[in-house]
Structure 1
């Protein structure tokens, strides 16, 4: 009995794998929620005051983000080389630390609690595409609860809900829920251990 070769089209000769015409895909401006002028002005301000490694003052960075609508609590540290797609969709609680090179690609809202650490080069993105239909933009918010630590080079996708004081080990990918106090790792955010010892019945 002859085996089919990988990728064989036997039995489906009339099937042609479709290709979505990206030229006619719906644009992403529906996610802007601001005028073109504001978006372009923010792009310039981000380059000068936020992403710029030469701009060393966290207070200046936070002030500019607030000026463009970011909801940032007191005591937040925002390191250089960070990127924020839309500051008016960013919410960060008091005393949180945002590490160097963090990228908030927030076409939808990102909510971060107080005393949260987002470490170097981590990427939080709320956007995806209707990949089976017309590649239109799809967005879902991200929630990171108080006390959580997203360590270096993690990826957090739209719809993620990271529980109170959870810890993501380096290069973890999160697409769903992470329970409070859990340590997770890897591309499937597998549970490793509890971060803190707690009494039964406490969160």
Structure 2
């Protein structure tokens, strides 16, 4: 998907076909997704599926959620993605069953190699387990896996894979601050 060893100052980082597909999605997003009435979750799921997203049942994706590439989105059952959430999925982003992505949260699957002369663009997947809650305005970085039951506190920064399921993480960088019970 990403063109390697290009000169980003003079050429694109993605193929023409990929840019065309994203433009088609952006137009669809603007005309049919973003301004759709809030209760029309099924409608937005249909639009995302038309562009290759894997969407489970009972999913609530709100119209103000920003999704970069639906074909790289895999959402389980009964997931909520709030208005203002950003799903920057240059690579696969998988969200497990019963998870919540709150308003303003940012799942960022792409970055640049600051050691390369051309700041080479690269991407890695983000995997969220089941019953995960990414609270308001939290940031989850590329290559991160979050196990089942984890809560990431509001405005937290997660740059490394979390290893302890059913825990609460918060801060910059996020650290474990507590445990959750399974109810």
Aligned to 1:168: 152
Give CA deviations for 1:22-63 in whole Å, capped at 9, x if unaligned: 515x63315x9x5443221111011123333x5321111111
Match for 1:55 among 26, 37, 49? Answer: 37
Number of the residue aligned with 1:138:
122
2:100 to 114, 117, 123: 117
Q: Once superposed, which parts of structure 1, at least 4 consecutive aligned residues long, lie more than 6 Å away? A: none
Between structure 1 and structure 2, the one with the greater Rg is: 1
TM-score, normalised to structure 2, is 0.88
Instruction: Find the counterpart in structure 1 of residue 167 from structure 2.
Output: 182
Unaligned ranges ≥5, structure 1: 1-20, 199-203
Whether the 8 Å CA contact 1:108–1:141 is kept in 2: the answer is yes
Measure the CA separation in 2 of the matches of 1:95 and 1:197.
Answer: 17
Q: d(CA) in 1 for partners of 2:43 and 2:30?
A: 13
2:3 aligned partner: none
CA-based RMSD: 1.9
2:13 aligned residue: 28
Task: Provide the rounded CA distance (Å) in 1 between the counterparts of 2:33 and 2:168.
Answer: 30
Partners in 1 of 2:33 and 2:182 — Cα distance? Answer: 38
Give yes or no for the alignment of 1:107 onto 2:90. yes
Q: Would the aligned equivalents of 1:144 and 1:163 in 2 still touch at CA under 8 Å?
A: yes
Structure 1-normalised TM-score? 0.80
